[in-house]
Structure 1
Amino acid sequence: MTSPETMSGAEATGRDRDGGRDRRLAAFGGRPAVPKELRNPPWPVITEEDRAAVLGVLDGAALVSDTDGETAVSVLERRWAERTGAAHCVGTSNGTTALQLALAALGVGPGDEVIVPALSFIASGLAPVHQMAVPVFADVDPVTFCMDPAAVEALVTPRTAAIMPVHLHGHPADMDALTAIARRHGLVVVEDAAQAHGASYNGRPVGSLGDAAAFSLQVTKNLPTCGEGGLVTLADDKVAATARMTRQFGEVIEAGKDRDYISYLLGWNHKLSAVQAAFTLSQLERFDAYDAARRANVTALLDRLAALPGLVVPTRVGDVTHAWHILRFRLDPAAAGLDGLRPEAFRAALHRLLRAEGVPVSRYQLMPLPEQKVFTDRVGYGSGYPWTAAEPPPDGAHPVATQVIADSLTLQKRHLNPGAGPALQRYADGFEKVWENLDTVAAIAKSAR
């Protein structure tokens, strides 16, 4: 089977060896632009070093994070704190528990409100509920897809305790504006950096820009483990100590001392496995090389696609480093010369035709967070808690989040492999081929009305 690394130049550009192309749409009998072997480049890339790291833990005695002495977990915590510039790092079982642990350690709880973006993964909204706090949803910026500071400011009430910016898809949120709002109102800031490993804002790594930050190590992330895992970075010594206690049943675990099994405060079993930590440590050795290759591959893809009318490619705003975890493409039928076509219909037709060409585009989130049933039905912990235990939260409109979901498609995971450059070029071939047939796209979109 041909791999991205071994394709010939002709194959990589989507041309036959005689220089010709099949320009017929694959949905109507043409040859797909992307061969099957390039539609799903593997991620994560698992090496013998990764396997050896995992086996090293299995062959040792430090299988859990509370083992006395240095473990894979403590080493990962130290290295990630150093990399992000944070004072502390605490390993957790996954990115969702990382968010909850950060909120808990900062004292966010019943009766509080936490402002989160209306466009994000469900965990961003659930984490406050897990703390019996109420999530309040702010609209997002139409270009960065991160929370809009003006929308956040309008939602602050006397009950607001925290702002949770999500560095969505790997683009840092507008942290200067958001932290200024937090300072004016005495709020804490918890970065949701689940998708933003390696991103930076004004020269500073994400994870060091607020009071705490949560990273996910889930297997699809830019820095993965072999399953699930999470990391919390923290600025304050006492808050970090609280996070370590709440990670393990509220106990105090001290090196060189026997465990007393006394729970001093409410806690959970949110510990990170040493096996997961060892795998991530091994991946971290190659992170910078993979990151550099990914940036080059993504840049080459976006440079080609930016020339297509009506296709709005993701970009960077301000002095930021984008992690390019997910690529979101907005679709503008009017700019494509298809006046009168609904963006949703344009998206649906393109989705069908691009998938037929072998371009693995998909949708990321089918509705804004506040429209998820868990937040509209408000069953929560039963009897409507935490909502019924607090004043009604402010009702923030989210038209931008709604429109972004309606008019966009995404590329997920396939571009993370450092050798995915040839595959991405074939995806560009697929986009260009479909764009050469916009009259057919329009016909399909109109027929779906």
Structure 2
Amino acid sequence: MSEGRAMDRLAMLGGARAVPRGTAMPEWPVVTAADREAVNRVLDSGKFTAMASGEREIAGLEEAWAKRVGVRHCAAVANGTIAIQIALAAVGIGPGDEVVVPALSFVATGLAPVHLQATPVFADIDPATYNLSPAAFEAAITPRTRAVVPVHLHGLPAEMDAIREVAERHGIAVIEDAAQAHGVVYRGRHVGSLGSAATFSLNVSKNLPTCGEGGLVTTDDTALYERIAAMRQFGETLAKDGTRDYISRIMGWNAKINAIQAAFTRSQLERFDTEQMQRDQHVRTFLTRLAPLPGLVVPRALPDRGHAWHILRLRCDATALGRTPSSSGPLRAIVCRALRAEGVPVSRYQSMPLSEQPVFQGCPAGELPVTRAVIEDSFTLQKAHLNPAAGPVLERYADAFEKVWRHMDLLIRMAEGGAR
């Protein structure tokens, strides 16, 4: 066999990998000297919580993010999941209420209503954006519906104008789940300013991370903000000087972020725009190479909104290759196997609609044909592309995709049982 043919042979069949062994996946988050200095500043100050007199890291992060989003208020909390829970509780969600959520999302979107003894109602998604379908949202509304949580999945904003129009007609609160969409603009406005309140995650894996867990809740409603701020601190109303009377006036949690986490994120925020611009350039270049591959559906931004590219979800369309739709799932499985063998760290991520997870047994769900199809035929690339220096590695990954696609006839036969 010639060297050229050996190099082109699929790695899972004994050929050389397209991504050479030892090629490191770029780390995320990037931790700089400035980040370490920010953390050490807190350690040296001895002021670790919002209750510490004179603590400024938490308030500084809140002020910076509120200004960035274009709202009056931001409350920093312990994580992105409690952020959704507190936002829902602050708008009055409680036992017996229904909250419409997309059937394709991270589990936290559905868990937040459950923690309030409310019922998540799972609605189908749009086939192009993978976000909540406005039509499916409206079809899911009942007399008990009190809120909707549209998710800007993977960093692409949902159809917020249409969702808000439906919500306003039915008197339903809109809580944005923007955990994966930091800094993205939708029709001239930042996500985080498009509903009654919005929530962000600062988990270490997110585009805007902290050194562990954290979250943010944004709102333009002062009364709503005051409830959110109280709920994260046992339901107490804090004086402006930080003094406490230890009286819980409403239901609340201990859901505060600490000053070290806030300082780390404030430092990350200083270079967020630059890193996001570099990420956007590298991801678009990568997807431009993948887009011509027949039967591969790549994520795309829309003209009226940005994209954070937090996760890249790709779909295998068997019909574009002359096969039946039922072949898409098996094709996705064999393509993932081939790509991983070539050194591309793809994964399936979700394996079922949220409504089918055991924790949500008995919760209502509409017909979910789009959600089921997307889960069956799609796979994802996570974290590897977030580092702003990931361009060269993404070029290697694109080489691997092109190599795998040169063997598509063989992979189709394997997917359909014609080869082992």
How far is 1:50 from its partner?
A: 0.7
Amino acid at match of 2:30: V
How far is 1:447 from its partner?
A: 2.5
How far is 1:336 from its partner?
A: 2.7
Contact 2:236 2:248 in 1 (8 A): yes
Amino acid at match of 1:154: A
Amino acid at match of 2:316: L
Contact 2:155 2:184 in 1 (8 A): yes
Say if 2:380 is the partner of 1:407.
no
Amino acid at match of 2:395: Q
Give SS of 2:112's match: helix
CA distance in 1, matches of 2:24, 2:13: 19
Partner residue of 1:299?
284
Contact 1:171 1:323 in 2 (8 A): yes
Say if 2:110 is the partner of 1:110.
no
CA distance in 2, matches of 1:214, 1:413: 21
Amino acid at match of 2:204: V
Contact 1:341 1:446 in 2 (8 A): no
Alignment partner of 1:36 out of 3, 6, 21: 21
Q: Which moved more, 1:113-122 or 1:433-442?
A: 433-442
CA distance in 1, matches of 2:324, 2:293: 16
How far is 1:235 from its partner?
A: 1.6
Partner residue of 2:257?
272
**Once the two structures are aligned, what percentage of the paired residues are identical?**
57
CA distance in 2, matches of 1:257, 1:423: 48
- Tell me: CA distance 1:249–1:123, structure 2 relative to 1, closer, same or farther (3 Å): same
Give SS of 2:321's match: coil
- TM-score using structure 2 length: 0.96
- Give CA-to-partner distance per residue, 1:105-161, whole Å, 9 cap, x none: 111111111000000000000001111110001100011000000001111111110
Alignment partner of 1:147 out of 122, 132, 153: 132
CA distance in 1, matches of 2:227, 2:408: 57
Amino acid at match of 1:129: V
Partner residue of 1:13?
none
Partner residue of 2:298?
313
- Tell me: CA distance 1:318–1:185, structure 2 relative to 1, closer, same or farther (3 Å): farther
Partner residue of 2:273?
288
Give SS of 1:36's match: coil
- TM-score using structure 1 length: 0.90
Q: Which moved more, 1:35-44 or 1:129-138?
A: 35-44
Contact 2:76 2:214 in 1 (8 A): yes
Say if 2:419 is the partner of 1:438.
no
CA distance in 1, matches of 2:326, 2:172: 44
How far is 1:36 from its partner?
A: 3.3
Alignment partner of 1:120 out of 90, 93, 105: 105
Amino acid at match of 1:41: P
CA distance in 1, matches of 2:80, 2:347: 23
How far is 1:19 from its partner?
A: 10
Alignment partner of 1:398 out of 368, 392, 407: 368
Alignment partner of 1:248 out of 214, 233, 247: 233
Amino acid at match of 1:432: E
CA distance in 1, matches of 2:242, 2:269: 31
Partner residue of 1:424?
394
Contact 2:49 2:55 in 1 (8 A): no
Give SS of 1:251's match: coil
Amino acid at match of 1:443: R
Amino acid at match of 1:135: P
- Give CA-to-partner distance per residue, 1:211-233, whole Å, 9 cap, x none: 10000000000000010000000
Q: Which moved more, 1:176-185 or 1:38-47?
A: 38-47
CA distance in 2, matches of 1:368, 1:339: 23
Alignment partner of 1:185 out of 170, 173, 184: 170
Alignment partner of 1:229 out of 208, 214, 220: 214
- Tell me: CA distance 1:341–1:181, structure 2 relative to 1, closer, same or farther (3 Å): closer
CA distance in 2, matches of 1:359, 1:21: 19
**Any stretches of 5+ residues in structure 2 without a counterpart?**
none
- Tell me: CA distance 1:372–1:95, structure 2 relative to 1, closer, same or farther (3 Å): same
CA distance in 2, matches of 1:136, 1:448: 42
Contact 1:202 1:320 in 2 (8 A): yes
- Tell me: CA distance 1:115–1:65, structure 2 relative to 1, closer, same or farther (3 Å): same
Alignment partner of 2:205 out of 220, 223, 242: 220
Contact 1:149 1:178 in 2 (8 A): yes
How far is 1:49 from its partner?
A: 0.8
Partner residue of 1:132?
117
- Size of the aligned set, in residue pairs, is 417
Contact 1:39 1:359 in 2 (8 A): no
- Tell me: CA distance 1:28–1:55, structure 2 relative to 1, closer, same or farther (3 Å): same
**Displaced runs of 4+ in structure 1, greater than 3 A?**
18-21, 36-39, 337-341
Contact 1:172 1:320 in 2 (8 A): yes
CA distance in 1, matches of 2:26, 2:346: 13
Amino acid at match of 1:409: F
How far is 1:28 from its partner?
A: 1.4
**Any stretches of 5+ residues in structure 1 without a counterpart?**
1-17, 379-386, 388-392
Contact 2:179 2:200 in 1 (8 A): yes
How far is 1:270 from its partner?
A: 0.3
How far is 1:344 from its partner?
A: 1.0
CA distance in 2, matches of 1:85, 1:418: 26
CA distance in 2, matches of 1:196, 1:21: 42
CA distance in 1, matches of 2:418, 2:259: 51
How far is 1:69 from its partner?
A: 3.1
